[in-house]
A and B are shown apart, each in its own frame.
Chain A
């Protein structure tokens, strides 16, 4: 599988999963030190709009995903204080006519000639986690092995949750459980309790033993079903492959951090330092015009971390950054609500920029092939969680509605408009000093938790657009759960590929985040069997 070092043997993992699942009840019955649980899940999604970037093909109503997942969790208490935990996931997808069409267009065809195998993006089997827990002395606990760690307070837009990258290729943005999206890493996590100070220290060391694909956020730049508009069927690795060994962000480098978390009065708080890979893919543009067959001609862009790029137009890199974090959370009697905040100060965060005279690569491909600038960035979040008791009367819910509102901002320090920073390579929206996002969650419960409606909404206050995701999860029985969800996106601007040809590719749009999801609305359903 080209897209990573995950196992190419989902069948084998599925077989192991099935075998482990089969011994689960027996393990429980015998009260053994070996426990097994997990789930089987079928997920289906349909496009509800006709995509703009698949000309001549009506995407509306097409099945975009038919995904079968087996997840098995094991826990083996090897000794009194020593536990070995394993989490395994195997996935098989059905090749739908829609996926077939994307494949014909060129999805996932990097190093495969004109046509690749799109299913390689989705079928996989992996050891999600495999670690051992053991104590050292009275107050120190060690977890060593492949694992995932979440720092920070917010689940939506990561500020301090930067220990791992996320894999957004099979489902972007909408998956509620980050647990399923985080790329897990081999790490040592050491927790030292300091009850005298009402807190504890966490030390993370990632020795750099992971596979190259296990760092950074993985977006669908392969032209698959979660490719951003207007890049359906385009595998960008053909002109800008990954460079995991760039000296700005070499996956073999040791990374890690420290976090102190504790309680002071009524407030729980944390302070952290993290040395990690910048999660967003950064385009390291080629310093030459080899894309046009002119390897000796400078492009005008400066390549970082190596003399010139491996790719014709550039490479995707994940530079290493330093992140200084702070979080706090407390309950307010007066508001009867929990307030949380999170601040991450990122030193030298990498940004793409659009030069006043863009390189020929940018003019031919998209904005963002002009080089990289570094800016200090303050990402902060303020959130209020409140239970709204009135819904018991208004909507007949069995308990107060859970309501959460969150304001998220990325504040660029020493902002200079003439830096002409871009939000992302590929789209034209220029980054403003503040980038505000407002989100809200409304969760209800009926029939003793057997029916759970939820609405998640968001609005991009700076660049326009937003999303609304209403869903209902129904508990069919104690083992079966069924979810139906609609994913609605809107945007003020979007990139029209037909108008973005040479020499206008760098200046033809101002699309922000929700422009990437233009016409990507979908209906989603999942059926889960828990064991």
Chain B
């Protein structure tokens, strides 16, 4: 074999360049904060063996460089998956099938309907979304007595901070006892009451979600007229109140999967995300901005949840195609590969321009019956076109999951009516 001088030179230069790279890159210590100040210097450095650049999506890097986002690095931790959920999920392996006609997953009982995702499966992306929709680790019933929805003007700061109580009750996919409660048509029920400010206090909604194509049934109690009014079930792609999120943006993706015409699996990758975050991110008894919102920075744009634990997580990248009447043209979702959890979402308007960035933080809690549930601690939906954000923060200390003695009859239209004050 004859070695050409030119080829030899090229090989040497590549090898040398590689050597130079290795020499310059470093494994960053836990606690390092990725920010606009250092991102250029550390982008080729590594954390848990992965380069910082590889752990940031394009929009994440853009936010860090241009919008004050800071990501403190923490070692990744395994998410302890509750054995009952794992068992129920594994029981679905090979038995479940998406039924496009009924908008259901045939054969699903509880847990994630598709525990094994094959990247070569043309339905892989859709199955990940069904796992999120039906298989979240939220427990059979969760009561969140206090959460706040902070409305933030990127230039001026907080302009509203209503406080509400939220309850979610599963009618299907239950892990304790019978998997189905009721006649099997309902997926779940939700109750939401505002506790403050005074002009919103008592305002509440009761929602029934169905395990079919059917739109949600939604009722609202309006204190000013002391009356329950039926709301439009077709409003799932409309904004929630005065916030920056649409109904189907709640925890990034809140639609029945079949309401979207299609999903594309873009691939797998690693990102920095909060899966074992600090809690609570909101101190209800605080008086100053810093006391109330320890996770946020009290300077423009005010919405960055900078003071949390970001760790490397492997995610599916899924592009969801929206219906033609939807305000978004597409939604990009970053979903953990180990369990159903969406960390980030990007949305684009009908012109294809970048519009909103969504970011949700969570940690693993323990239910009253010992179930290990995944609890959201905070979420930001940032509208970059209007320089405005909605940051939802939860008082995790008061969160209760799988409370004994609670049943579906405690969450009904009568409950909404009776609770009105």
Contacts and interface: CB of A to CB of B under 8 A. Distances in A.
B234 A333 contact: yes
A307 interface: no
A477 B159 contact: yes
Nearest to A404: B229
Given A39-B199, A530-B199, A179 B225 contact: yes
Contacts of A478: 158-161, 197
Nearest to A135: B418
A329 to B, nearest CB: 4
Given A37-B196, A155-B225, A478-B158, A448 B388 contact: yes
A387 B238 contact: yes
Interface in A446-483: 448-450, 475, 477-479, 481
A191 B420 CA distance: 12
A331 interface: yes
Contacts of A31: 284-285
Interface string B263-296: 0000000000000000000001101000000000
Contacts, number: 141
A398 B388 CA distance: 12
Contacts of B409: 139, 193, 195
Contacts of B327: 392
A191 B415 CA distance: 10
Contacts of A337: 232
Interface centre among B224, B412, B414 (most CB of A within 10 A): B414
B14 interface: no
B196 A399 contact: no
B328 to A, nearest CB: 13
A150 B242 contact: no
Nearest to B224: A177
Interface string B321-364: 00001010000000000000000000000000000000000000
Contacts of A38: 198
A229 interface: no
Interface stretch (A260-268, A295-303, A502-510): A260-268
Interface in A1-49: 28-31, 37-39
A179 B285 contact: no
Contacts of A433: none
A162 interface: no
B230 A338 contact: yes
Nearest to B388: A448
B224 A179 contact: yes
Interface string A321-343: 00000000111010011101000
Contact of B226 (A39, A133, A149, A329): A149
Contacts of B225: 150, 155, 177-179
A195 B226 contact: no
B197 A37 contact: yes
B232 A389 contact: no
Interface string B212-251: 0001010100011111111111110011011110000000
Contacts of B215: 331, 333
Nearest to B234: A336
A497 interface: no
A385 B197 contact: no
Contact of A263 (B197, B284, B413): B413
A446 to B, nearest CB: 10
Contact of A37 (B201, B232, B242, B412): B201
B242 A338 contact: no
Interface string B52-83: 00000000000000000000000000000000
Interface in A511-531: 528, 530-531
Nearest to A73: B198
Given A179-B224, A448-B243, A268 B201 contact: no
Contacts of B217: 266, 331
A153 B226 CA distance: 10
A479 B230 CA distance: 29
Contacts of B198: 37-39, 71, 73, 530-531
Given A155-B225, A177-B225, A268 B197 contact: no
B414 A193 contact: yes
A180 B291 CA distance: 36
A184 B201 CA distance: 19
Contacts of A475: 159-160
Contacts of A55: none
B299 interface: no
B227 A150 contact: yes
A165 to B, nearest CB: 15
B408 A195 contact: yes
Contacts of B160: 448-449, 475, 478
22 contacts: A30-B285, A31-B285, A73-B201, A150-B227, A177-B224, A178-B224, A179-B225, A191-B414, A195-B414, A329-B229, A329-B230, A331-B231, A331-B234, A333-B234, A336-B232, A340-B230, A387-B238, A389-B325, A448-B151, A448-B242, A448-B244, A478-B161
Interface of B: 151, 153, 158-161, 196-199, 201, 215, 217, 219, 223-235, 238-239, 241-244, 284-285, 287, 325, 327, 386, 388, 408-409, 412-415, 417-418, 421
Given A177-B225, A261-B413, A449-B242, 6 more contacts: A141-B418, A191-B417, A193-B409, A330-B230, A337-B232, A385-B229
Interface of A: 28-31, 37-39, 71, 73, 75, 85, 133, 139, 141, 148-150, 152-153, 155, 176-179, 182, 191, 193, 195, 198-200, 261-263, 266, 268, 329-331, 333, 336-338, 340, 385-387, 389, 392, 398-400, 445, 448-450, 475, 477-479, 481, 528, 530-531
